[in-house]
Amino acid sequence: MAGFFIFEAMSVTQLLEIHSRCSGVEIDSRKVKPGNLFVALKGEQADGNKFAQKALDAGAIAALVDDPALKDQPGMVWAEDALAALQQLATAYRKTFSFPVLALTGSNGKTTTKELLYAALSTKYRTYATKGNYNNHIGVPLTLLSVPKDAEFAIIEMGANHQGEIAMLSEIARPEYGFITNIGKAHLEGFGGLAGVKKGKSELYRFLMANSGTIFFNNANEVLEDVVAGYDKVIRFGIGTADGFSGEILPGDFARIKVGDTEIASSLVGSFNGQNILAALCIGDHFGCSLEAMASAIAAYLPDNNRSQWLEHNGNHYISDAYNANPSSMSAAIAHFASMPVQPKVLIIGDMMELGEDAEAEHAAILQQALRSDFQRIITVGTFFGAARGASPDHFDTTEALLEHIQEHPLQQQYILLKGSRKMGLERLLG
C-alpha cells in the first residue's frame, strides 16, 4: 500500500488518535452521524470528496479526503490516497488488539461458516464478526475499525475474485488464525481457472505460514494439502476422520452432525452445511468453548439473507439460496434438493457470473444435472442458461419476465429451490 501524508505532517499515529475519538467510520455522507470520521472514497459513480463538507455539516469530527483543493479546509484531513489511508489506519488499529483475530475465506460457505463460528465463539467470548458482505479491500478495513475495544475475539471474512486480493487483505488484517472453507469453481474469470482459485484463496494460508500463524484445515480439502505440507501449526478436522477433530453427518433435509455422543442440529438446509458446522465446532473447541453450549447456539441460529434459508410464501415452501452461486455450490444445492423426500419439486436456477470462457460449459453441465433429477419442473433464468437450454416455455431471459409469468400463473403448494448469482436477484420472486 502506498504511503500517505496528511497536511504533509500528520502520521498514521495521529490519524489513529482521531479514530480513537470518533464514534464510527463512515464512507457514505448520507449515513454520517455526529462524531463519525468520514472517509471520502472515489467510486465508479461518485467522488466522496464532493460530499466531505456535507459530512462535516452532519456532525463528522473530520473528513479524510484526497482532493488537493480541500487540503487546507477546516475539518478536512488530507491524504495523497484516502483509500490507502483508510487501509493503513485499519492495520494500525488492528495492531492494538490483544485478542485473537481469525480470517476466513473460501469459494463456498464462508459467510455461513462465519455466522456459525460467531454463534459458537460467542458462547465464551465477546466476539465481533464481519457484518453483511464487508469482505473486500474497503469492507475489511471498515470491519476492523468497527471492532469494539472490549472485544475478545474478531472474525474477519475475506472475499476475492482475483489473485493477490487475499494476500492484500491479509496484510491489512494481520490474522493470527485462518480457515479456508473450500476451493471451488467461483470467480473463474478473474482467477484464471480452478488452479488460479486455489492459488488466490491459499494466499491466506501462505500469509499465516510466513507469520507463524495457526491454520485450521478441513481434511476434505485435499487440493490444499500441498500448500500446508510440512507446516507444524495446522489444526485438522473432518467428517469421519481419525486425524484431528471429527464428526459425522446425519441424514435429513436440514444439516445435522454428531460429535461423540452430542448431536448438533441446525436450521440450515442441505447436508453440505454439515462441513460448515463442523468447522465452527472445531475452531470453537480449540479456543475452549463447550461443545454443549456451541450445539445450543448453532441450533438457535436462523439463516437469513437468502443463504440456505427455509421460507414459506404464498402457500409454497422455498429453499432460498439466491445470495450467490457458482458451479460448485449450484451442483451441491441441486443434488441436495433432488434427495429431499418431498413432492412436487420445482427448481428455479439463474445464471452464474464471472465464469469467463468456462461459462458455456459450466451452465450446460448444471442444466444436464438438473434434467437428470426428479423435478416436476425446471425453470431457468438468464442468457447463459438460455444458450444452454434453447427454446423452452420454462426459460426466461430475466427475473422480471419470470416474475410476470408467475403472477399470471401462480405456483401453488410446491417445494421450490431458488439458486442463482446475486446479479440475478431471484429473491424478488418472494415479493
**Would you list the domain boundaries of the chain?**
12-86, 97-300, 309-430
Which single residue is written with the C-alpha cell 488492528? Answer: 94
User: What gap in Å lies between CA 359 and CA 381, rounded to an integer?
Assistant: 14
How far is 282 from 332, CA to CA, in rounded Å? Answer: 23
Read off the pTM. Answer: 0.90
Using alpha carbons, select from 215, 192, 186 the residue that is nearest to residue 203: 215
Q: What is the pLDDT of residue 7?
A: 39
Same fold, 12-86 and 97-300: no
pLDDT band at 10 (very low <50, low <70, confident <90, very high): low
Helix runs in 122-239, H state only: 139-146, 165-173, 188-191, 194-201, 203-210, 225-228
Q: Does domain 97-300 have CATH number 3.40.1190.10?
A: yes
pLDDT, residue 45, reads 86
Mean pLDDT check: name the lowest of 115-124, 145-154, 315-324: 315-324
| DSSP calls for 49-60 | GGGHHHHHHTT-
> Is the pLDDT reported for residue 317 higher than 90?
yes
User: What's the angle, vertex CA 324, arms to CA 162 and CA 203, rounded to 5?
Assistant: 30
Q: pLDDT tens digit string along 99-130?
A: 999 999 999 999 999 999 999 999 999 999 99
What would the mean pLDDT of 309-336 be, rounded to a whole number?
A: 93
Cα 382 to Cα 390: distance, rounded to the nearest angstrom: 12
- Give the model's confidence band at 340: pLDDT under 50 very low, under 70 low, under 90 confident, else very high: very high
Nearest one of 274, 245, 230 to 113, comparing CA atoms = 274
**Top-tier CATH class for 309-430:** alpha beta
Helix (H) or strand (E) holding 312: strand 309-313
The CATH number that domain 12-86 falls under is 3.40.1390.10
Residue 3 pLDDT > 70, yes or no? no
Q: Which residue has the cell 480439502?
A: 221
Query: Assign residue 8 a region: left if phi > 0, alpha if psi is -120 to 50, beta otherwise?
Result: left
Mean pLDDT calculated for residue range 341-349: 96
Q: What percent of the chain clears pLDDT 70, i.e. is strictly above it?
A: 98
Q: Which residues pair with 76 in a beta bridge?
A: 63
**Nearest Cα to Cα of residue 120 among 55, 216, 43:** 216
